[in-house]
Chains A and B, each alone.
Chain A
Amino acid sequence: MASSPQPQQPLETESSSSRPTKTLGSVRSFTRLESQTPPTRSRSATLNSSVGPERASPFGAFPEPNFTYDSVDQVESPHPTEPEALDDHVRDVLDEPLPQLELPAEVLEMTDRFIESLSAKVHPAPVSIDLLSTMFQDFYETTASAISAHVSKLYSSHDAQAPDQPLVSMSEIVQRKKDRKRRDNLRVALQEVVEKRVTEAVFDKIWRHHGAEDEARDEALRSKTMALAVVGIGLKELGLEENINVMDLKPVCEAFQSLNATKCPHGKLHLLKRAHKAIVDALTSVVPSTTSSADHILPILIYSLIISPPHIHIVSNLLYIQRFRYHKAIDGEAAYCVTNLEAAVSFLETVDMGTLAANGSPVTAPVDPEPTGIPSISLPPYAEKTDKATLTTIAPAITDTSPANASPRLETGLQKETPAVLPMTAATKRMTYLTPVEFATSAATSAVNTADQSLKTIGNSLENSYRFLFGKLSDKRTDLPKTLEDVRKLVGTPAQEQELLRDSAIYDRLYSEGLKTSDSYGGDALATQMKQVRTGETTKNTRETTMKLLPEREVVAGTSLNTTESSPGHGAAYIPVADSVRNL
């Protein structure tokens, strides 16, 4: 991004990167550090690295850092090292907002050079996502050691006299532990600043990197969760005995939704932890005595993914964390949460709905004439489950205009789902008139579109969905419905529609109470998609329903066009970025 290394800027202001600092190699104050550092440290010693104006090497995306560890001996002077239960608390610190820290000059320079190297056209072919991830990991490794060296220097004069002296007092030991903890915290915090700076700078190149299949996997997963919701998979089918109120899972869904609003892996990981915490809270609010074991947490996590709005892009977010979070900083509880999500996604991607239903109590699918057992929330979620991904298949050029994909140059505060709210509720209401089969049809349309682009998995999962749906029907009635007309007869009973409406009320409430960050693309995309459906090979009855709602839809479609049109202008500034992505 930055056209030249800009070593010493306050990190929290992204916009400042456009105003180069002139004083190279000057001593900057470490605002936050002052209060923490021992008085005897020599600050200038940390800054004799050459912060030259030279540009990143044209060879290799990741030039060698050009500072020197000139005080290495001092840095590596032995510290007292009592065994201890290592730093759980260090990680806890990360749950707090990042402090306003300035990076040491040499680290800042490394960081900016890395960012620059990512944008430089030095690679003959696009860099694969795996290589990109490796480059990030190598980079983090390098900055971690630079940060360590820096922090040790800050404290070294203080610690230097320590090792040879016998431990006289308890208070001294306590003090040392405290110091060590403080150093650890500082290292972690500085590393977070590095991660934030890098990932935010190149976010739209690395998010859903176009060499990867993240988006298609999101789409496939969405189709799958839709199908699971259609057949009424609930917590029971997922193996949970306890009865959890769907409303209690709202915070979980909210956490998932927020994933798109943050660009740094640290933030996403934090939200993932929050989702887990919300699961435990929901569980203990129902059964206070329950120990929240994996037997409980995993099913609830999976169920939360099923009922979450469609635009959570959970696979993309998971992969983003795994690729661009410093691996050594995914540990302990965070590592568990990542694995849990990975497992939940894997389960949803591969589960055979027939066996799932067979495992649990009989599934009360919408095809069941008696609406009694339908989990109240199971249907409405996919009132929304047509999102901008569909739009993307129509106009791929605007991929990056979704809120979370907004330019890294925007202030963090601005990147949050600005357009949201308006057409959503209306759209949701409209969509609830559709029968499950029509939802499935629209899912099919979008999935097929995506599958055309690349992936076979979607086809499979969808095929399974259908196979199950129809298998289900054939279990219930002796003749298999042959046409959508038949299915609709089975599915779209008046009672069923009423049920849908009732559910939609709950859903609206759920979302109007806070989940309504869903972007307007959702509704727009559906409209667009329904147009496709209408013009495509659909049966008469689908068409009828569509026609009924046509006027409204046209309006929405108009909005959609506007969005599409406005985006190139909005995105114009980033065309070079897009170019450099291709060169990654």
Chain B
Amino acid sequence: MAQPRASSSSANTRFAQFKLVLLGESAVGKSSLVLRFVKDQFDDYRESTIGAAFLTQTIALDENTTVKFEIWDTAGQERYKSLAPMYYRNANCAVVVYDITQAASLDKAKAWVKELQRQANESIVIALAGNKLDLVTANPSKRAIETADAEAYAKEAGLLFLETSAKTAENVKELFTAIARKLPTDQAGPRRGPAGLRGGVDMNRTPQTANLNGQGCAC
């Protein structure tokens, strides 16, 4: 269902596009993290018309493999929790963010992970990001969640895990690269059918909208 768009256009080059959803409490720095990723490391950042809520970024995994992320932000306020499935449907990957200086934020993150594992696309790649590493580096007493604890949890739950700082960019690129590596860039079907059928409204366009039909009444 949530097949990524990918292609092996010739023997040695691959391109794949994935939908990534961002989850986590408000104020843990979800959008800062992703803005850092999108703006910093690469020159081709284009300002999105809808701010940081929807961003795209392309990274080259190696000289032959290019991965494009479509990054969907979700509202972190508790009252919007029930809306999240609309955003993570057909997502290929998710970044669940917590704040390493706020103990409760990891509990929230765990709840998201649990929900994703229960309800999202089966093959979804989930990364856990403990953000605001810069605060702890500056003042170790601020740490509320031990790295080892979070790591143990992530391991048990089968998640990618990194502590990050949107502020200093530490581990940000690494996080997204790790996700890209875990995604099935090679086993996806061709992005385009016969050459010449590709492009704007081509036949292999975006999986994430494939089941909009008939979902009207689900909202």
Contacts and interface: CB of A to CB of B under 8 A. Distances in A.
Contact of B203 (A83, A144, A295): A144
A273 B77 contact: no
Contacts of A156: 196
Contacts of A79: 195-196, 198
A476 to B, nearest CB: 23
Contact of A291 (B31, B46, B74): B31
B32 to A, nearest CB: 7
Contacts of B78: 359
A512 B13 CA distance: 58
Contacts of B214: 130, 133
A343 B87 contact: yes
A152 interface: yes
A148 B209 contact: no
A351 B77 CA distance: 14
Interface stretch (A58-66, A320-328, A498-506): A320-328
A134 B210 CA distance: 12
Interface string B15-51: 1010000100011001110010000000010101111
Nearest to A359: B79
Interface string A121-137: 00000000010011001
B53 A294 contact: yes
Given A85-B58, A318-B216, 19 more contacts: A83-B14, A83-B15, A144-B201, A148-B197, A184-B199, A184-B200, A280-B50, A291-B31, A294-B31, A295-B31, A327-B209, A331-B208, A335-B206, A336-B53, A338-B212, A339-B72, A342-B86, A343-B86, A347-B83
A533 to B, nearest CB: 32
Contact of B26 (A180, A295, A345): A295
B205 A328 contact: yes
A77 B87 CA distance: 38
A312 to B, nearest CB: 16
Interface of B: 5, 7, 9-10, 13-15, 17, 22, 26-27, 30-32, 35, 44, 46, 48-54, 56, 58, 65-66, 68, 70, 72-80, 82-83, 86-87, 192, 194-203, 205-206, 208-210, 212-216, 219
A273 B49 contact: yes
Contacts of B30: 293, 295
A474 interface: no
Most buried by A among B30, B78, B192, B208: B208
B195 A78 contact: yes
A76 B53 contact: no
A339 B201 contact: no
B9 A133 contact: no
A145 B203 contact: yes
Given A83-B14, A343-B83, A335 B209 contact: yes
Interface in A249-284: 273, 276-277, 279-280, 283-284
Contacts of B66: 83-85
B7 A342 contact: no
Nearest to A276: B50
A554 B102 CA distance: 63
Q: Is the interface of A mostly helix, strand, loop or mixed?
A: helix
Nearest to B31: A293
Contacts of B79: 238-239, 347, 351, 355-356, 359
A347 B206 contact: no
Interface string A101-135: 00000000000000000000000000000100110
Contact of A85 (B35, B44, B49): B44
B87 to A, nearest CB: 6
Contact of B219 (A137, A323, A342): A342
A336 B52 CA distance: 12
A292 interface: yes
Contacts of B35: 291
Contact of A297 (B53, B196, B213): B53
A347 B80 contact: yes
A294 B75 contact: yes
A399 B50 CA distance: 35
A432 to B, nearest CB: 31
Given A292-B51, A331-B209, A299 B75 contact: yes
B213 A137 contact: yes
Interface stretch (A185-193, A366-374, A378-386, A486-494): A185-193
